[in-house]
Structure 1
């Protein structure tokens, strides 16, 4: 059926068949973790299931952290750069939207969610993060970026003679 309970019934049957008929013993915890990841992967590149360790890593963020100015999303099996903040270490290094991140500090991006990948790019100001990038039509590229605190451009406000203002 197309109801949630109907879909869960089908899923339950698949789990039962795998447990009973798969040629080797099944690690149920691992299989269920894969199912949870698959569910959120089927939504979009920004939705993610975070396990306990990933939640702890994600929550380690500090207001004193610096970053490299890259916005990530999951596209297929890897993390992809969505944008590079103007003037950021990422932009200065030539990292562009569409670049695929293979590794962050030697850690494969394949199993990482976008929020965890984003967190791994953050760290102490002045510290270095090493990325391995894939670009269409070229071999892998290794890039070392120095984390910086983001400097937001200051806004200017002005009120015109007619009373209208702008930023």
Structure 2
């Protein structure tokens, strides 16, 4: 098991969420945004027509950033395998200190398999549809070291060697 880090911040505006996304995104980040009536699918570019939505996620090989609307503002949760500089993440608080993480495989349905929602998409660069089998995404489990209870399952980008 590896040491993990979990951070939380309430009271963010949509602009604050966008700035945070820009700060934490890498070249290999994926996005998934949900509104009450639709989902963006898994995209390599933040889908402007869905942002900020009701909630969403941005994930890469180091961390997952989740945001969720609470009243008129958003809450943000960061699940990370690397320690964050809290000066760079102004206002974020570390949740607990005994987190461990381990990576597991994740499997996606083929585009031609029946599923919900029917129009779920995987979009690569330039909004081109990509095959789900070509997305190297995994799951990262965050568990409490003392109790071995898994509290969070984050999406992560895996290397071809994983």
TM-score, structure 2 length as denominator?
0.23
- Mark the structure with the bigger radius of gyration: 1
TM-score normalised by the chain length of structure 1: 0.22
Higher RCO (C-alpha 8 Å, min separation 6): 2
Higher helix proportion: 1
